[in-house]
Amino acid sequence: MAQSEIKDTDHVSDVEHEVTSTGLNHRKMLMWAFLGSDCMFFGALIATYLVYKGKSLSGPQPIDVFDIPVTSVSTFVLLMSSMSMVLAYSALTKNNMKVFRIWMISTAIKGATFVGFQVYEFASFSKHHVHVECNESHEMTTFETEVFEAECKPGIDSFSGEYGLKPQTNLFGTTFYTLTGLHGAHVTLGVVWLLSLLLLSFKKGVITKEKNVDIDLAALYWHFVDVVWIVIFTVVYLFGVFPFS
Amino acid sequence: MTLFPIQISIPSIPRPVKPTGLWSWLTTIDHKRIGILYGVTAFILFLSGGIEATLMRLQLSGPELDLVSAEVYNQLFTMHGTTMIFLAIMPMGAAFFNFIIPLQIGARDVAFPRLNAFSYWTFLAGAIMLKLSWIGGATNAGWFGYAPLTSVSQNPGTGIDFWIISLQILGVASLAAAFNFIVTIINMRAPGMHMMRLPVFIWMSFITAILLVLAFPVITVALIELTLDRYYDFNFFNVANGGSVVLWQHLFWVFGHPEVYILILPAMGIVSEVLPVFSRKPLFGYSTIVLAGAIIAFMGWMVWSHHMFTVGLGPAANAIFTITTMLIAVPTGIKVFNWLATIWGGSIKLNTPMLFSLGFIAMFLIGGISGVMHAVSASDAQQQDTYFIPAHIHYAVFGGAIMALMSGVHYWFQKTTGKMFGEILGKFHFWTLMLGQNLTFFPMHFVGLEGMPRRIYTYAEGMGWDLWNGVSTFGVFILIISFLAFMLNVIKSWKSGPIAPADPWDARTLEWSIPSPAPEYNFSEIPQVKALDDWWVTKQENPDIEVPDALENHSIHLPQPSYWPFVTALGILIAAYGVVFNDLLVPYLIAGIGTLVTFIGVYSWSLEPVNDPDEHTSH
């Protein structure tokens, strides 16, 4: 049987540059498989959201609570974080550790900013207030929901009512918080990962121009989470306020 | 010059050096040992599922018996289904993936040995979680956990919570294993082993892994939604707030139907290995079998609603899913014909592995045909929720998957242990298994068509179901004898069986070109593959070739043992136990401790040195 001479290090994992059948790195292939799996994860969540879209029996609807300009800003921040991730990786491959670290921190800060926006958004949605005006026959003029009907009493011209969206409020709350919350969890995990790698890069020889797979993997993950947000922003936020669905 | 003039040193614990005894098993990352762990654990859990089934059969052996209460009966069938699917057949498949894949593709281990160990320990954690639920009332909503049976108002106990958490943990285990095997199969093939030279078992494992990767996230999402409903009053399956219980069914079966193929494709792979060896002919239509497997996996995503024909999805949906379900029988049929053509004209040796594979074809065919019967939605309306369905799934999963897995055990036992497997007890096991399963499951067709509903804990006299239920229960005892014989055979053969030669079956694939039992390093030299069934071709070209003995001392560099996969899985188990009892302070603390242990495990794992620094084997 013809057999080939092999080196000791062949077919042993944990080694950065192992010989593989395809020439592709093991861990990178695993990451792609994981992202495929994560596609199904978000696919199932988005499917749930769409199945229940417009099916809420009561409570605030997307158009009542969404603040598109604010979310656009956080979306922009997240998209820019993908760019700084690319710049970080690029700096690493040019062996410029200083610039690499700057962009890594920048990416993590942008990710954290996005999560911060989300926390703010969740808090403000859950305490959403509406200003309601009453007319002379004690009916509401500016807000047509029946939630506050009893509040328009003689002597009250207008009042501010709480019309918050909590996960328990209706199907929109349930599906919205679950979908965006789990995306936020992905971003948070990404931030922890980036910061861990940043810390690790101070250890000599762990992350170098040649040993860049760790950064490559984190970048893949980061871009994926970013792409998922583009879908969520479009399907949940934009389709939620524009009346064509 | 640096912006951050710091040099930190992160402490890392060195890897265990040559552990012995229990430590060697806890820290092992050798795919063969992990395979054995998977196999033994899964078999024990298979027995526990069998005990649950036996209790149910005893309860149903005659009308109006009260061996178990209705409540316990509900727990029994739920635990039986969940155990057999997630804790027995899937991990038995995983045992073969672990043991066989690197050997058949000419590799020294899997791509991620530590992740592989993690898969096993996490699987064990999930199994422990599920079985723990018997304390204080197990889950009782069926293995499919239909809403609203799983809601807090219907089911306030912790049984459902244990079930949810254990399935989530098992999902992590399965996903980690699936990622690992996908990368191993694509990336660690020996030189010359093109994809179309892979043994069929490898192909089927590969397709199964892809199905796992895509199917498990869906059940993960469904279970997350259910958890949020139960713990925090979300509205996913809360009808009062507009939620839909049918959504659960869709999510569950989008996962659940590919899951059926996850159970059966490895079995088909094993049979495709065994039949050519014992027919002494090449597998008929290799590429067709591979392609049929891929088509089954693809179409497996288009048939889920045939589990929901009686929900009322409407005639259009029912018609479409009837057609797709009947179509998916075609690639399965192609495989059966390929197997028959493989045997046709061969010089057949009826050793135990071959007997089990032939038994598989016969039993799986019966299960397949009854499957096509309820593929017709009109006919399914008569069969839904009757004993006809358990008859079908047991022919597919017991007569199918278990028979094929037994075939694999008899086929590869020599490579695992280095001992020959007893043929006489093996044949006794086979014939009693055939007799027992047909006595147990075939009468279920009759009582099913006579209208006996499934999942009832007893039935009235005079329904005409007494005789066949009695026969079913009698069959169980033959099955028990059969598996006792199997266990006896394993113990006897392992301890005192005759020494097995390297290639006892005159087989075709690479694992038989190395000594038995497979040495730690698998291949002293990585083989150069020239053809499909390379070992067979090599033997034809060079009839005098001999397999060299295992090396006593070798300098082959192997991945070293590690503590962290075990520690990480242990952390997950502790955390999960805390999460189940989420409304008290102490469980929160337990969950916190578990999470901490998990984090320590993950970080230590990722920072673990590649090699022991004292050793000079590193490059």
Asked if the Cβ–Cβ distance from A30 to B8 is below 8 Å, we say no
Whether residue B614 has pLDDT greater than 60? no
Residue B546 lies in a domain: no
pLDDT confidence bin for A203, thresholds 50/70/90: confident
Residue B4 lies in a domain: no
Whether residue B219 has pLDDT greater than 90? yes
Specify the pLDDT at position A150. 63
Residue in B109, B214, B236 nearest the CB of A174: B236
Specify the pLDDT at position B10. 55
Judged by a CB distance cut-off of 8 A, whether residue A55 touches chain B is yes
Asked if the Cβ–Cβ distance from B7 to A204 is below 8 Å, we say yes
pLDDT per residue as tens digits for the range B448-490 = 999 999 999 999 999 999 999 999 999 999 999 999 999 999 9
Whether residue A11 has pLDDT greater than 60? no
pLDDT confidence bin for A149, thresholds 50/70/90: low
Whether residue A142 has pLDDT greater than 80? no
Specify the pLDDT at position A68. 94
Asked if the Cβ–Cβ distance from A168 to B234 is below 8 Å, we say yes
Number of domains in chain B: 1
pLDDT per residue as tens digits for the range B140-171 = 999 999 999 999 999 988 899 999 999 999 99
Whether residue B182 has pLDDT greater than 80? yes
Q: Which domains does chain A have, with CATH numbers?
A: 33-44+66-128+166-245 (1.20.120.80), 129-163 (no CATH)
Q: What is the mean pLDDT of chain A?
A: 87
Whether residue A128 has pLDDT greater than 90? no
| Rounded Cα–Cα distance for residues B370 and B441 (Å) | 12
Residue A85 amino acid letter: M
Residue B435 lies in a domain: yes
Asked if the Cβ–Cβ distance from A37 to B175 is below 8 Å, we say yes
| Rounded Cα–Cα distance for residues B169 and B129 (Å) | 9
pLDDT per residue as tens digits for the range B89-113 = 999 999 999 999 999 999 999 999 9
> A160 in helix, strand or coil?
strand
- Could you tell me the CA-to-CA distances from B80 to A67, B50, B134, B144, B429 in Å, in that order? 50, 7, 12, 12, 23
Judged by a CB distance cut-off of 8 A, whether residue A192 touches chain B is no
Specify the pLDDT at position B553. 78
End-to-end C-alpha distance for chain A, whole angstroms: 66
Judging contacts by C-beta atoms under 8 Å, the chain A residues touching residue B1 are 98
Specify the pLDDT at position B613. 44
For range B188-206, the mean pLDDT: 95
- The pTM of this model reads 0.93
Whether residue A4 has pLDDT greater than 50? no
Q: Lowest mean pLDDT: which of A134-143, B58-67, B242-251? A: A134-143
Residue B454 lies in a domain: yes
Specify the pLDDT at position A1. 34
- Could you tell me the CA-to-CA distances from B517 to B98, B412, B490 in Å, in that order? 15, 10, 15
Specify the pLDDT at position B19. 75
Q: Which residue has the higher pLDDT, A150 or B487?
A: B487
Range of the domain at B419: 351-357+376-489
pLDDT confidence bin for B342, thresholds 50/70/90: very high
User: What single DSSP character describes residue A129?
Assistant: E
pLDDT per residue as tens digits for the range B442-454 = 999 999 999 999 9
| Structure-block tokens of residue B557 | 């560099």
Q: What percent of chain A has pLDDT over 70?
A: 87
Q: What is the mean pLDDT of chain B?
A: 92
**Minimum CA–CA partner of A45 in chain B:** B221
Specify the pLDDT at position B130. 95
- Helices and strands (H, E) in chain B, number of each type: 19, 0
Judged by a CB distance cut-off of 8 A, whether residue B216 touches chain A is yes
For range B506-520, the mean pLDDT: 93
DSSP readout, B327-370? HHHHHHHHHHHHHHHHHTT------HHHHHHHHHHHHHHHHHHH
Residue in A13, A34, A38 nearest the CB of B109: A13
CA distance A101 to chain B (A): 9
| Rounded Cα–Cα distance for residues B247 and B221 (Å) | 12
Judging contacts by C-beta atoms under 8 Å, the chain A residues touching residue B188 are 11, 20-21
Classify residue B543 by burial, with Cβ atoms within 10 Å: 0-12, 13-18, 19+: exposed
pLDDT confidence bin for B611, thresholds 50/70/90: low
Residue in B2, B109, B617 nearest the CB of A98: B2
Q: What percent of chain B has pLDDT over 90?
A: 85
Residue in B6, B188, B603 nearest the CB of A202: B6
pLDDT per residue as tens digits for the range B13-50 = 777 777 778 888 999 999 999 999 999 999 999 999 99
Specify the pLDDT at position A88. 97
CA distance A134 to chain B (A): 29
Whether residue A3 has pLDDT greater than 60? no
State the complex-level ipTM.
0.93
| Rounded Cα–Cα distance for residues B575 and A26 (Å) | 30
Residue B584 lies in a domain: no
Residue B292 lies in a domain: no
pLDDT confidence bin for A148, thresholds 50/70/90: low
Judging contacts by C-beta atoms under 8 Å, the chain A residues touching residue B2 are 97-98
The DSSP element (H or E) to which A12 belongs, if any, is: none
Chain B (55-114) residues lying within 8 Å, Cβ to Cβ, of chain A: 107-114
User: What single DSSP character describes residue B63?
Assistant: T
To probe the interface with A, which of B112, B116, B168, B179 has the most A CB atoms within 10 Å?
B179
Residue B41 lies in a domain: no
**Minimum CA–CA partner of B192 in chain A:** A21
Specify the pLDDT at position A16. 42
Whether residue A13 has pLDDT greater than 80? no
Q: What CA dihedral angle connects B355, B361, B366 and B369, to 10 degrees? A: 180
Whether residue B190 has pLDDT greater than 80? yes
Q: Which residue has the higher pLDDT, A58 or B472?
A: B472
Specify the pLDDT at position A146. 62
Q: Which residue has the higher pLDDT, B613 or B255?
A: B255
pLDDT per residue as tens digits for the range B530-548 = 999 999 999 999 988 888 8
8 Å CB contact between B52 and B78? no
pLDDT per residue as tens digits for the range A79-95 = 999 999 999 999 999 99
Residue B427 lies in a domain: yes
Judged by a CB distance cut-off of 8 A, whether residue B173 touches chain A is no
Residue in B218, B603, B610 nearest the CB of A15: B610
